[in-house]
Homo-oligomer: A and B are copies of this chain.
């Protein structure tokens, strides 16, 4: 699921500038499952324009930089739907934290506890963010997605609180090596 497809999808929900698309990633529920930087969004939008999947209109603003507002074309909409009819790429979850936990016995216990604290804090923040956004969810799809995210975060927090001791109890056997 590349940045081009993600941009197309977002534009089915309404016109937007590249800057706004980036904001949507950060502020709305999107960022829990997809992500993109300016360096990939702007080229993606230009290429989508060249290919006729989106159209642009430039708006000159007073006291603000010019902006390019992108709209999805009917060709783009069809292409986006077609991409959702093809088999979806599989999820990929990369978790340096979980990987690190495999090596808890190599680390000083304070470090393991610190990792757990930091991770829990991060998950709690994401959870709070998602809850804040959940209220604003309108479509059934959005509600489903934010509900999904919340379910996962609740499960993670619950697991960490009830099982952290199992990985914290270890005495760093190799710490003195």
Footprint of B on A, CB under 8 Å?
1, 6, 9, 12, 30, 32-35, 74, 77, 80-81, 84-85, 87-107, 111, 115, 118, 122, 139-145, 147-149, 151-152, 154-156, 158-160, 163, 166-167, 169-170, 177
- Please indicate the chain B residues that have their CB under 8 angstroms from the CB of A87 in the complex: 118
Q: Judging by beta carbons under 8 Å apart, are A144 and B115 in contact?
A: no
Q: Report whether B156 and A99 are in contact in the complex, using a CB–CB cutoff of 8 Å.
A: no
Contact A167 B151 (CB under 8 A): no
Cβ-defined contact, B166 with A159, below 8 A = no
Chain B: minimal CB distance from A46 (Å): 22
Q: Is the CB of B98 within 8 A of A33?
A: yes
Q: Contact at A144–B104, with CB atoms within 8 Å?
A: yes
Once the chains are docked, how many angstroms separate the CA of A103 from the CA of B122? 28
Does B139 contact A163, Cβ atoms closer than 8 Å? no
A1 to B156, CA, bound (A): 21
Contact B159 A147 (CB under 8 A): yes
Neighbouring B residues of A90 by C-beta, 8 Å: 96, 122
Q: Which residues of B contact A140 (CB under 8 A)?
A: 104-105, 166-167, 169-170
